[in-house]
């Protein structure tokens, strides 16, 4: 809102001349359907709720920054982790897991600790919990496990009333024990969001500038210390203020008592991982600190309360798949399925253009673009920038791996091992050719040369020439002639003549050899 004293107006911005509390009525008392002000208000109200998060629905958060105190350049090329002293703007959302939105803060439940980092390389999300381990290690158990924690489908009551389902699931799935020992121990009900740690839980991979990989666990350790409530304390507070944790965070930030966390990594080499007693991809295990010491790299400070909860917290869309170069997901199957699940739920919860919402919008210094356009609730549709991979208005080359903005596309980018099965059915899956080869010219050549009679050939040439004559760049016109010359040199020459370009050069173009037009 641009002014501190806004003009009262309808949603189309027209100042309302009547009283905000007076609906228009006909002389015999009926409401007037033409009362846009009233309909505008009721209709918007009818749509105020969006789906709540299917888990972690109840929470709160604040804005702040991450500051790199010690470079991690030896293990990652992530810019945010290599330029000491650099501050990265962030927003954190803390949450309970099982309760619905508005649920009681001081219940026994893990806490979400999700951090959106607006880095110079785009947004990165650390979607952590306050425990270093998790209940499951096979993603297929996630949905039934969560169901066992939620309301009973028959009674609609939680497991505080009847814990049969809760324990029925747990006692049949013993990998849950590590998390349960945390949950029913002294950390099960945090005293405040300020007094809890955040953990990646999952193993991630850090890749440095030399392309060397180490496995990493990230720890975000509270400078306020870690403290918990007993069950009795939690219940007492719940009856006095169900929003206890929200209030605690809000009030401390308002008073200028900004909560702070130190950030650490543990690292493990591939060799160490082979000898490790547990799998690095097992989310139910921690890495002993003695063997894998904590290494500090930065701090996090929360110093700004939100001005609007819905816009700045509810609409946050975190995903473990939002990573910047130098940090990759490990093969932990739970992490791998989370890479799918979060953006999928955002498209449902917030709509396909959720990344354009102000709180989710990347603020990287370089202008960025892609081929995504339109859809519901577009806020910014990339102006007049080409909506395909254009050779006359190419994207800038921004990453070290592709030079396509300069001369050509890196032919190795996006390589996939199925290449050797090109164009054939295998196990019910069709693999397509990535590169073009002579087989791609055989059938169109036969169609033109052998099936078309002279009249059809001539009409075909004319159609091409007429259509391509409106091309605005001579270089692209030349490419049209070159392309058809591969089918038949004479055809290429006739098209070149029609388009008034040079004699054609019948050479197939591979993605790596795409020619960009320098302007
Ligand atoms: C929220 C799925 C495991 C941490 C969510 C949401 C979904 C989800 C669908 C709601 C997101 C939204 O509406 O924005 C899953 C699945 C998992 C899994 C399918 C395993 C297969 C985990 C693990 C962690 C975690 C292991 C922590 C290490 C969180 C957090 C949130 C969340 C912190 C709340 C994010 C926010 O504040 O917006 N999860 N989750 N989840 N999950 Fe998971």
Three-state SS letters, 94-133: EEECCCCCCCCCCCCCCEEEEEEEEECCEEEEEEEECCCC
pLDDT of residue 1: 61
338 lines ligand 1 (CB under 6 A): yes
Residue 431 has pLDDT above 80, yes or no: no
H/E stretch holding 244:
helix 244-254
Q: Whose CA is nearest to atom 37 of ligand 1?
A: 93
Q: What is the average per-residue pLDDT within 189-206?
A: 98
Of the two residues 348 and 437, the one the predictor is more confident about is 348
Distance 79 CA to ligand 1 centre (A): 26
Ligand 1 atom with minimal separation from the 114 CA:
33
Catalytic residue among 37, 56, 252, 322: 56
Residue 173 has pLDDT above 90, yes or no: yes
Predicted confidence band of residue 199 (pLDDT cuts 50, 70, 90): very high
pLDDT of residue 513: 73
Residue 519 has pLDDT above 80, yes or no: no
Percentage of the chain exceeding pLDDT 70: 91
Question: For residue 170, what are its two tokens?
Answer: 């747990």
pLDDT of residue 296: 98
Q: What's domain 1-48's architecture? A: Irregular (4.10)
Residue 414 has pLDDT above 90, yes or no: no
Ligand 1 atom with minimal separation from the 127 CA:
33
Which of 20-34, 323-337, 449-463 comes out lowest in average pLDDT?
Answer: 20-34
Q: What is the average per-residue pLDDT within 376-393?
A: 88
Ligand 1 atom with minimal separation from the 344 CA:
9
Residue 409 has pLDDT above 60, yes or no: no
CB 484 within 8 A of CB 501: no
Residue 380 has pLDDT above 80, yes or no: yes
320 lines ligand 1 (CB under 6 A): no
pLDDT of residue 160: 87
pLDDT of residue 405: 40
Predicted confidence band of residue 425 (pLDDT cuts 50, 70, 90): low
pLDDT of residue 512: 67
Task: Return all residues near 118 (Cβ < 8 A) that are at least 6 apart.
Answer: 88, 89, 90, 362, 363, 364
Residue 373 has pLDDT above 80, yes or no: yes
Q: Rounded to 5 degrees, what angle do the CA atoms 71, 73, 77 make?
A: 125
pLDDT of residue 428: 58
d(CA 463, CA 221): 68
d(CA 271, CA 290): 17
Q: Rounded to 5 degrees, what angle do the CA atoms 287, 288, 290 make?
A: 135
Mean pLDDT estimate for the chain: 91
Which residues of 305-343 form beta strands (DSSP E)? 327-329
Predicted confidence band of residue 407 (pLDDT cuts 50, 70, 90): very low
Tell me the domain boundaries of the chain: 1-48, 59-356, 434-499
d(CA 475, CA 363): 35
Q: What is the average per-residue pLDDT within 54-60?
A: 98
Q: What is the average per-residue pLDDT within 335-358?
A: 97
Which of 157-161, 363-367, 411-415, 423-427 comes out lowest in average pLDDT?
Answer: 411-415
pLDDT of residue 435: 73
Q: Look up 467 and say whether it is catalytic.
A: no
How far, in Å, are 83, 298, 303 from residue 71 at the CA level? 6, 9, 24
First vs last C-alpha separation in the chain: 40
63 lines ligand 1 (CB under 6 A): no
Q: Say yes or no: domain 59-356 is CATH 2.40.180.10.
A: yes
Catalytic residue among 37, 63, 123, 129: 129
Task: Return all residues near 26 (Cβ < 8 A) that are at least 6 apart.
Answer: 32
Give the per-residue SS3 of 156-191: CCCCCCCCHHHHHHHCCCHHHHHHHHHHCCCCCCEC
Residue 402 has pLDDT above 60, yes or no: no
pLDDT of residue 397: 60
Summarize pLDDT for 477-511 with one digit per residue, the tens.
Answer: 999 999 999 999 999 999 999 999 999 999 888 77
ipTM > 0.95 (yes/no) = yes
pLDDT of residue 406: 38
d(CA 432, CA 435): 9
Summarize pLDDT for 73-121 with one digit per residue, the tens.
Answer: 999 999 999 999 999 999 999 999 999 999 999 999 999 999 999 999 9
Q: Is 342 annotated as a binding residue?
A: yes
Q: Whose CA is nearest to atom 12 of ligand 1?
A: 53
Global pTM value: 0.90
pLDDT of residue 432: 54
d(CA 175, CA 189): 21
Q: Look up 19 and say whether it is catalytic.
A: no
């Amino acid at each position: 809102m641009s002014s501190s004293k806004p003009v009262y107006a309808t949603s189309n911005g027209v100042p309302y001349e009547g009283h905000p509390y007076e609906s228009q009525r006909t002389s015999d008392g009926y409401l007037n359907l033409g009362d846009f002000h009233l309909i505008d208000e009721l209709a918007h109200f009818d749509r105020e709720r969006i789906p709540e998060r299917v888990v972690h629905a109840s929470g709160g958060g604040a804005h702040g920054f991450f500051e790199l105190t010690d470079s991690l350049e030896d293990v990652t090329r992530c810019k945010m982790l290599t330029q000491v002293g650099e501050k990265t703007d962030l927003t954190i959302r803390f949450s309970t897991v099982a309760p619905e939105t508005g649920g009681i803060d001081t219940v026994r439940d893990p806490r979400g600790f999700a951090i959106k980092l607006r880095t110079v390389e785009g947004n990165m999300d650390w979607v952590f919990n306050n425990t270093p381990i998790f209940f499951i290690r096979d993603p297929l158990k996630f949905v039934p496990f969560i169901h066992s924690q939620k309301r009973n489908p028959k009674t609609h009551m939680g497991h505080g009333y009847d814990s049969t389902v809760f324990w029925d699931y747990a006692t049949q799935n013993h990998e849950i024990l590590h998390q349960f020992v945390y949950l029913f121990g002294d950390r099960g009900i945090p005293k405040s969001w300020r007094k809890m740690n955040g953990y990646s839980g999952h193993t991630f991979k850090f890749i440095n500038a030399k392309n060397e990989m180490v496995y990493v666990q990230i720890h975000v350790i509270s400078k306020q210390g870690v403290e918990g409530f007993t069950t009795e304390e939690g219940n007492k507070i719940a009856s006095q203020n169900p929003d206890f944790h929200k209030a605690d965070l809000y009030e401390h930030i308002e008073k200028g008592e900004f909560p702070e966390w130190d950030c650490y990594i543990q690292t493990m080499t591939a060799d160490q991982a082979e000898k490790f007693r547990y799998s690095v991809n097992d989310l139910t295990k921690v890495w002993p600190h003695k063997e894998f010491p904590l290494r500090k790299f930065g701090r996090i400070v929360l110093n700004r309360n939100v001005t609007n909860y819905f816009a700045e917290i509810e609409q946050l869309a975190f995903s473990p798949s939002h990573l910047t170069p130098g940090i990759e997901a490990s093969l932990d199957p739970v992490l791998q399925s989370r890479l799918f699940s979060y953006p999928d739920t955002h498209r449902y919860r917030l709509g396909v253009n959720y990344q354009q919402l102000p709180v989710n919008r990347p603020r990287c210094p370089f202008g960025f673009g892609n081929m995504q356009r339109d859809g519901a609730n577009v806020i910014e549709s990339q102006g007049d920038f080409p909506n395909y991979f254009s050779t006359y208005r190419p994207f800038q080359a921004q990453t070290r791996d592709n030079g396509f903005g300069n001369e050509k596309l890196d032919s190795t980018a996006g390589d996939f091992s199925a290449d050797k099965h090109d164009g054939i059915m295998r196990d019910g899956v069709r693999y397509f050719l990535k590169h073009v080869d002579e087989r791609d010219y055989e059938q169109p050549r036969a169609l033109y040369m052998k099936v078309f009679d002279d009249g059809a050939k001539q009409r075909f040439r004319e159609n091409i020439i007429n259509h391509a004559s409106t091309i605005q760049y001579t270089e692209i016109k030349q490419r049209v002639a070159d392309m058809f010359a591969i089918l038949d040199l004479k055809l290429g020459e006739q098209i070149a003549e029609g388009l008034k370009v040079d004699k054609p050069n019948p050479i197939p173009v591979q993605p790596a050899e795409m020619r960009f037009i320098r302007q």
